[in-house]
Chain A
Amino acid sequence: MKTPTGVTIVQYVLLAGFLLFLGFPVLWIISASFKSSAELNSLSANLIPNEWVFTNFTTALERQNLLSSAGNSLLVAVSTMVIAVIITLPMAYVLARLRGKARAAGTVWILSTQVFPQILIIIPLFLVLRTLFLNDTLLGLILVYVTFTLPFTLWMMQGYVAAVPRELEDAGAMDGASRFRVLVHIVFPLLRPGLMATAMFTFVSAWNEFFLALVLLQSPELFTLPITLRAFLGAEGQTQLGPLAAGAVLATIPSLIIFSFLQKRLTGGMLAGAVKG
């Protein structure tokens, strides 16, 4: 299939436009993280720093609580990931194997959770956590994150479970194994790749999450990375742009690494879910 040269040129121009739009802001913040504060506040806007400065990263880590916030974020994200996967797995199995109305109800419920404004849940959630003495604690935040990532985790996992041939289970049952044994020894091992993908996705969600943490955490020493970064912005004109950019770049690295692993699986999982719904 030959395409006319004119069309090809238009295509490349469009592609370049999209690349500029999507890629330039990212390059800009990376470049900003290496600029001196004098250059950042000047009117000249260069993509390549005039003078490469590496102190923004050390300043960000030392002076702005970034390291302890990163520690909080890591603790929260890892705990959310582990708990979410453990409690999702059995339910995803049931959902995937159910038929008829129960499955339809489950599916509609999963979809509808994406629909309610979180802000409506957040207000009483804050009150519920306060009643349980869990507000302004990382444990409270973890439990909330687990709950809020569940719908999507379930959605992905039930897709992976549905892909496991039922005959394998029947064979196990025929040999006299209990359902529990069948699950642990036959089904779960087959799910490992899907499990990994789901777990990593949950990690990224918790690592990036902003506004639940904004509402639920008050003590600065408990702040997660996004909240601390937001606090960097501070009063207008007072912002130290260099360290802020450095912190933003650092905060993106973990999810970027995980996403590059996950890209294919995520689309697969979401599309499978969309089609099966």
Chain B
Amino acid sequence: MTAPAPALTPPSGAPGRRRTTGPRQRAERREAIALVIPALLPILVFSVIPLLAGVYLGFTNATLARNAEIEFTGLENFIELAGDQQFWDSFGIGLIWAGSVAALTGVSSLALATLLNSNLRFKNLTRIIVLIPWAMPPVVTGILWRMIYDVNSGPLNAALGWFGIDRVNWLGDFSTALPAVIVVGIWSGMPQTTVLLLAGMQSIPGELHEAAAMDGANGPRRFFHITLPSLAPVLIAITSIDFIWNFNDFGIVYVLTEGGPGGRTLIPPLFTYLEAFRNREIGYASAMGDVLVLAILLILSVYIVNQFRQNKIGR
């Protein structure tokens, strides 16, 4: 991590370094390949091949039927998809879902981490509580929030009742379903983000804060001028990964609403899943998946190109 440009003079003993082709280097390269094969094999069979096949299936009329012949249909699926309003609606919902969850998780985790990093009491208790949602299986998260949101026996409606507010069918109502699902997304994402940010904060040298305090900077000033800038790279990385991860995943939403009511929480991967395994339209579903990959790659290419320019990866 120090040693800025070791590319030309690698430390001795590194297997598979530059293209020198002495007998020793060739032996080392063979060893490296042998060591990599056990992991590469399953990756090839269960990840790379399916991924390529998945891209290809989008150009076919495949169905789930066992003996049906798969025909190449070119861009047919994509043309149909372009006119599929439900898919584009779902795309919009997916962007709102992933964007809100990532942004709100980032902000609230930053606040919580800051609190945990100050000299308040109850920090150990908080850390234990923060841990629990993180360890929870997504299915359990879904189940417990269904209980919280329950129209009749849920504590949320009971609490609102104290203030004279009528019962709301949180997960079943058109206007509340998506926000309700987003709250659960934040709940399950916050612990991890908080712990990571907290670790990031604790690695900021204390002298920075002391010096600033000496110069008369108050808490908020120190936060905006020292903590936030030092934390920015970690915060941005976590938030982007959180966005992509939520955009691609559907476990929690599936357990909470199965995409309902009336498609109001039908995020793209869930839509794709239902199309593939309920409607059995493998080809069409794969085309949806292709569009999702393309969208993510577009978002990501900006980031990667930027990284390569700064030569952060190529070392």
Contact = CB atoms under 8 A, between A and B. Distances in A.
Interface stretch (B73-81, B142-150, B174-182): B142-150
A226 B133 contact: no
Given A120-B293, A276-B1, A100 B17 contact: yes
B250 interface: yes
B36 interface: yes
B149 to A, nearest CB: 10
A123 B47 contact: no
A150 B136 contact: no
B232 interface: no
B164 to A, nearest CB: 15
A139 interface: no
Interface string A196-225: 000000001001101100110000000001
The binding surface of chain A is classed by DSSP as helix
Contact of A275 (B1, B285, B304): B1
Given A22-B129, A119-B272, 10 more contacts: A22-B133, A43-B158, A91-B38, A116-B296, A122-B273, A124-B53, A233-B255, A255-B136, A270-B196, A271-B196
A143 B133 contact: no
B47 A113 contact: yes
B109 to A, nearest CB: 10
A166 B12 CA distance: 9
A204 B131 CA distance: 14
A128 B57 CA distance: 13
A201 to B, nearest CB: 11
A116 B50 CA distance: 12
B118 interface: yes
Nearest to A277: B313
A91 B147 contact: no
Contacts of A123: 50, 54, 57, 276, 282, 285-286, 289
A148 B112 CA distance: 31
B36 A94 contact: yes
Contacts of A233: 143, 146, 255
Contact of A107 (B17, B32, B277, B313): B313
Contacts of B120: 8, 11-12, 15
B300 interface: yes
Given A15-B120, A42-B153, A115-B244, A124 B133 contact: no
Contacts of A258: 135
A142 B33 CA distance: 25
Contacts of B262: none
**Contact size class for B?**
35 or more
A90 interface: yes
Q: Which of B112, B128, B132, B296: most chain A CB closer than 10 A?
A: B132
A147 interface: yes
Question: Which 9 residue pairs are nearest across A and B when measured between Cβ atoms?
Answer: A120-B289, A45-B158, A124-B53, A90-B35, A259-B135, A208-B137, A91-B39, A147-B46, A87-B38
Contacts of B148: 25, 28
Contact of B50 (A22, A107, A124): A124
B237 A274 contact: yes
Contacts of B143: 29, 229, 232-233, 244-245, 248
A274 to B, nearest CB: 6
Contacts of A169: 13
Contacts of A208: 136-139
A94 B16 contact: yes
Contact of A128 (B49, B128, B132, B191): B49
A121 B313 contact: no
A63 interface: no
A87 B144 contact: no
B87 interface: no
Contact of A117 (B42, B152, B292): B292
Contacts of A101: 314
B62 to A, nearest CB: 8
A258 B39 CA distance: 25
B296 A104 contact: no
Q: Which of A23, A107, A117, A241: most chain B CB closer than 10 A?
A: A117
Given A120-B292, A211-B250, A150 B42 contact: yes
A120 B18 CA distance: 36
Contacts of A255: 135-137
B120 to A, nearest CB: 6
A104 B312 CA distance: 10
Contacts of A24: 155
B289 A117 contact: yes
Contacts of B154: 45
Interface string B219-263: 100000000000000100100010011011111001100000000
